[in-house]
Structure 1
Amino acid sequence: MSGLLPRPKAVPTKRLFALGIGLVLSFSAICASILWNMADKDYWHAKEGATNLVASIASEIDRNIELYDLSLQAVADGVKLPELVKISPELRQVVLFDRAATAKDLGSILVLSTAGDVTLDSRTLTPRSANYADRDFFQVHQKRADSGLFISPPWVTSDGEYLISLSRRISNNDGSFAGVVAGSMRLSYFHNLFRKLNFGVGDSMALFNTDGVMLMRAPFEISKIGQSIKDSQVFKQFPARQSGSYMTKSLVDHVSRLYVFRAVGHHPLIIAEGLALDGIYADWWQQLWLIGSVVAALCGVSIILMFYLLAALKRRAIAEGRLAHLASTDALTGLANRRRLDDTLDVEWRRGMRAKSPVSLLMIDVDHFKTFNDTYGHQAGDAVLTTVGRCIATSTKRVTDLGARYGGEEFSVLLPGIGKAGAVEVAELIRAKLTAARESEHELPTVSIGVSCLVPDHERTSRDLLKAADLALYQAKAEGRDRVVVSPIGWDKSGKRHVA
């Protein structure tokens, strides 16, 4: 016995779950977007600050080197004056060498002959005896007329002082090589300049020439001075770009940094500041952990609440289904009640009308039930009704079959899609099972069964099927009870009503 069983109202679990997950993901995406913007803002603030600092330091270095270079150019031009040999050595010193040559952190300016010998010295009237023909700066100017200002790699004096050479070529009027004017600058100048700056943990600043030789670095390490970084990322952009930025891992100490670089004026120098990525995002990481923890907690609570909600909705749906089942089921026999029979009969009647298939109905009545009830008591009567219900339930195996307690001692069996012969077979099966049950329960009464079968159409209703089965039941009782009687009302193959 099944028929149209009341089902629990479907809970849109997947939709609710998808909606909950969607809300959690949307909220997480919004928070992630905010955190991303915060990280991006920290990055651009750091980059902007580094760009401004590098520009400022580059301007400072450029101004000082430019002043020293002007002094070198003045000497290179002055030594070619023919009147220079006619004046006294003291006056020649004043004419050739200005006060810039005696500034702090600047060494003496030397004038070298074509052979590399010192001919003039800004610090003394009597030049020392020395030859610099083997020095890189001398050889560069000797070979190239367009070398301009040459800044050498750092070198160490006999006193252990680190210097760089700044030099220019002296050319004759025909462009031939006439010597070199060279000066020196102490690396302590750059060291003192960098030392005034406040760097974060892991940050760095470096000054190197266009050949990739390190001239100064902060934090200061003497072993890094003179080291070549020609393979660094900056030389993939320079000289095509005179300034820029990039992120990479340092070749010197292997720390990942944001580097901002800039050429120092028109001189062959580059300054670069490296900001450690850990330092740039230090505050952001704290905010990430804080906000991330809050968001994760909220998402976790939301998911837990969502599962509780889904579970509550499922329990409610199951409870409603059970209530609906109880409302449509006879408590004593476990069969459907009359309300459910009427609803199911209307549905199956309409379905049979569309499919032009027969619908059969059995009306079953327990014979002499009132007398039996008065004789053996209501409990025995209830036991009889329970036994009849069990026989009906075990005789209706199809999903669409429906056994119901019609009222009192009356029962009904709805058999959609079954013709008259099949309906009679089910009716006889019910009687046979009651007969078998009577062998163990001798007081069990018999039943009378009326069978009706109609093919639904627009001229009839489901009430006609009930009426026909009820008339067949009365006929079974009139003929002596304990039998099956088929209603004479039926339909032929053409759909016309006839009486069997």
Structure 2
Amino acid sequence: MFRALQMISGKPHIDRMLGRVLRLVGARKALLPMSIAMIAVMLVVVAATLMIARSQAWEQAEQQAENVRRAVVEDVRSQLTLYGRMLDIAQGLLGGPQFAGLPQDLTSGMLARMVHDFEAAGVVIVLDPAGFSVADSSGRSKRTDNFADRDYFSVHRDQADKGLYLGPPYNSRLRSGDPSFALSRRITGDQGQFRGVVVAAIRLEHFRSLFSSIDLGPKSTISLVSNDGVVMMRQPSSDAQGDVGRDISASANFREIKGRRSGTLVATTSIDGVERLISFGEVTGYPLLVNVSVATEEILADWWREAVLIGGISLAVSCALVFLALLLQGKVDELENAKAALAEVVSKDALTGLANRREFDVIVQREWRRAVRERTPLSLLMIDADRFKQVNDRFGHAEGDKVLRELASEIRGNLRRATDSAARYGGEEFAIVLPNTDEAGAMKVAETIRLAVSAKLQQTGAAGGGAAVTVSIGAASVIPDYAKSIDEFIAAADGALYAAKKAGRNRSQLADLESGQSSRVVSLPPRPERN
């Protein structure tokens, strides 16, 4: 496979294809982070969308609760205003001296006609100064009941300037305990004397029906509460009777509502322990508050269903993206391995493991450009095995390949810097690029390698009956600039190599780049040929 890759490398269309593959592989490290970043962005967008939807659901619930509260407040206020006017009329008619002479039937008939169109009014009663009924709208015969113990009577008896009075809820004596509350007016004579009370019993059943007709949800409630914290009507209620008369004045919620007078709050109600959004406000002109309370779980029920659905889809998509990213990364890892194998094939010599000729060209050009930029010396060693053809002819190509591998091992083992690069230049010839190395440094490396090869490979040949091998080395060193040629640099080192061979082999020679001639031959004494 390596040889096949070597054969196809260098062809333009193949190189372009490999370039695209390698660019894809280059994105491997960013693949999973990019996928995670995309998922994070998607989840942030989903979360933001859900929070906006939640806020909108909450705002809509607040607006709905406020609209219902305003409607209920207006209905209650309108009803009470009409009843108040009716009592004003009755008080005006009954306060004159002519009232004393009116028959009870006539007075009761007049009251009956006045309340005929008032749905919530249970009965209107006229009480004398002692608290006895002298007329009522029901048209019944004179009652014997005394109502002097009722607050709606005593407050007018004791306070001449009280005006219209709205009392707490009570169970009506006249209508078999029907929950009601009273609106009452003092009847004052011409001389300011107390002439009695006219009182309208308002049936709380009317408000129960009104509240029940408004559907806010099974756990949502509408309440009519007095300023003293007494529940007039609550629907739905905890006792199925409207929680009439329940005292909530000690609750923190009521204290906050009474202090603020109108607005909204989120709180757990004391009656049933359910958290609700409460919209509250006064009934203008009357000591009453209307509270419209919507259970928070009902406000967000639809939102929760959407959140679970969208969240589930988002989670599934996120998992799918992670799975695809991992799957793709696995494929990219395979490409990365292929890239590493390809780089090994393209840049390495298969026999020796050193850089091949193509990689050598890349290295020497790169180091040349760096030396030009940095104005530092660059050295090149060209190494050739002496009489290598005789080794192949005498011992065969297998032994020759073994010698080349051992030569490569000695060359690699005697390079001490990571920046130094060794390559198989061709056949039995090798090259070493030494960045930032002057002539003395280059010759020191050359002699170290030459002596190591001479000692190691001659011992190997003697012990194993194989070939004893030496090397000749040509060196060139220069501080390059834009005026110098890299080809001349390589040719100078190559020329020094052949000068070393001509001078007797097994020696190192430095090229004189100024004169173009090789000079300064350094060598060991020639060793005798072995049989």
- TM over 0.5, yes or no? yes
Structure 2 CA distance for partners of 1:451 and 1:146, relative to 1, 3 Å: farther
Alpha-carbon contact 1:113-1:119 (below 8 Å) kept: yes
Q: Give the CA deviation at 1:424.
A: 1.7
Structure 2 CA distance for partners of 1:96 and 1:279, relative to 1, 3 Å: closer
2:416 maps to which residue? Answer: 397
1:358 maps to which residue? Answer: 377
Structure 2 CA distance for partners of 1:444 and 1:175, relative to 1, 3 Å: farther
Structure 1 residue 70 corresponds to structure 2 residue 85: yes
Task: Identify which of 439, 458, 468 aligns with 1:444.
Answer: 468
Q: Give the CA deviation at 1:328.
A: 1.5
**1:56-455 → structure 2 map (5 Å cutoff):** 56-95=71-110, 98-100=113-115, 106-112=121-127, 117-118=131-132, 120-122=134-136, 123=138, 124=140, 126-128=142-144, 130-132=146-148, 134-141=149-156, 147-156=162-171, 160-171=177-188, 179-198=196-215, 200-220=217-237, 221=239, 222=241, 224-230=243-249, 231=251, 233=253, 236=256, 244-261=263-280, 263-264=282-283, 266-434=285-453, 435-442=455-462, 443-455=467-479
Structure 2 counterpart of 1:130, one-letter code: N
Structure 2 CA distance for partners of 1:104 and 1:335, relative to 1, 3 Å: closer
Alpha-carbon contact 2:183-2:200 (below 8 Å) kept: yes
> In structure 2, the residue corresponding to 1:208 is in which secondary structure?
strand
Instruction: Output the CA distance in 1 between the equivalents of 2:159 and 2:338.
Output: 98
- CA deviations on 1:260-279 (whole Å, 9 max, x unpaired) are 44545643333333222222
RMSD: 3.5
**1:1-12 → structure 2 map (5 Å cutoff):** 11-12=26-27
Alpha-carbon contact 1:79-1:96 (below 8 Å) kept: no
Q: Give the CA deviation at 1:474.
A: 1.4
Structure 2 CA distance for partners of 1:175 and 1:428, relative to 1, 3 Å: farther
Alpha-carbon contact 2:233-2:242 (below 8 Å) kept: no
Q: Give the CA deviation at 1:387.
A: 0.4
Instruction: Output the CA distance in 2 between the equivalents of 1:155 and 1:429.
Output: 118
Could you tell me the TM-score, scaled by structure 2's length? Answer: 0.80
Alpha-carbon contact 1:101-1:108 (below 8 Å) kept: no
How many residues of Structure 1 are paired with residues of Structure 2 in the alignment?
A: 487
Structure 2 counterpart of 1:478, one-letter code: K
Alpha-carbon contact 1:101-1:107 (below 8 Å) kept: no
| Percent of pairs with identical residues | 32
Q: Give the CA deviation at 1:330.
A: 0.8
Instruction: Output the CA distance in 1 between the equivalents of 2:374 and 2:66.
Output: 84
1:3 maps to which residue? Answer: none
Structure 2 counterpart of 1:188, one-letter code: E
Alpha-carbon contact 2:73-2:290 (below 8 Å) kept: yes
> In structure 2, the residue corresponding to 1:480 is in which secondary structure?
coil
Instruction: Output the CA distance in 1 between the equivalents of 2:155 and 2:387.
Output: 133
Instruction: Output the CA distance in 1 between the equivalents of 2:468 and 2:195.
Output: 141
Q: Give the CA deviation at 1:413.
A: 0.9
Could you tell me the TM-score, scaled by structure 1's length? Answer: 0.84
Instruction: Output the CA distance in 2 between the equivalents of 1:174 and 1:469.
Output: 140
Instruction: Output the CA distance in 2 between the equivalents of 1:305 and 1:449.
Output: 56
- CA deviations on 1:313-360 (whole Å, 9 max, x unpaired) are 344244224312321111111111122212211221222223222111
Q: Give the CA deviation at 1:72.
A: 2.1
Structure 1 counterpart of 2:179, one-letter code: Y
Alpha-carbon contact 1:75-1:97 (below 8 Å) kept: no
Instruction: Output the CA distance in 2 between the equivalents of 1:50 and 1:110.
Output: 37
Alpha-carbon contact 2:236-2:242 (below 8 Å) kept: no
Instruction: Output the CA distance in 2 between the equivalents of 1:327 and 1:22.
Output: 36
Instruction: Output the CA distance in 1 between the equivalents of 2:162 and 2:232.
Output: 20
Alpha-carbon contact 1:249-1:256 (below 8 Å) kept: yes
Instruction: Output the CA distance in 2 between the equivalents of 1:177 and 1:394.
Output: 128
Deviates more, 1:211-220 or 1:139-148: 139-148
Structure 2 counterpart of 1:117, one-letter code: G
Instruction: Output the CA distance in 2 between the equivalents of 1:377 and 1:141.
Output: 137
1:488 maps to which residue? Answer: 512
Deviates more, 1:388-397 or 1:46-55: 46-55
- CA deviations on 1:45-66 (whole Å, 9 max, x unpaired) are 5555555554555555445444
> In structure 2, the residue corresponding to 1:354 is in which secondary structure?
helix
Q: Give the CA deviation at 1:37.
A: 4.8
Which protein has greater RCO, CA pairs closer than 8 Å, 6+ apart? 1
Alpha-carbon contact 2:261-2:280 (below 8 Å) kept: no
Q: Give the CA deviation at 1:113.
A: 5.3
Instruction: Output the CA distance in 2 between the equivalents of 1:68 and 1:216.
Output: 18
Instruction: Output the CA distance in 1 between the equivalents of 2:428 and 2:517.
Output: 31
- CA deviations on 1:83-128 (whole Å, 9 max, x unpaired) are 22233333343445644179776444344456x5336331556352
Q: Give the CA deviation at 1:486.
A: 2.1
> In structure 1, the residue corresponding to 2:350 is in which secondary structure?
coil
Unpaired segments ≥5 residues, structure 1: 1-6
> In structure 1, the residue corresponding to 2:26 is in which secondary structure?
coil
> In structure 2, the residue corresponding to 1:224 is in which secondary structure?
coil
Q: Give the CA deviation at 1:175.
A: 6.9
Unpaired segments ≥5 residues, structure 2: 1-18, 521-531
Q: Give the CA deviation at 1:416.
A: 0.9
Q: Give the CA deviation at 1:307.
A: 3.1
Structure 1 counterpart of 2:99, one-letter code: L
**1:24-39 → structure 2 map (5 Å cutoff):** 24-39=39-54
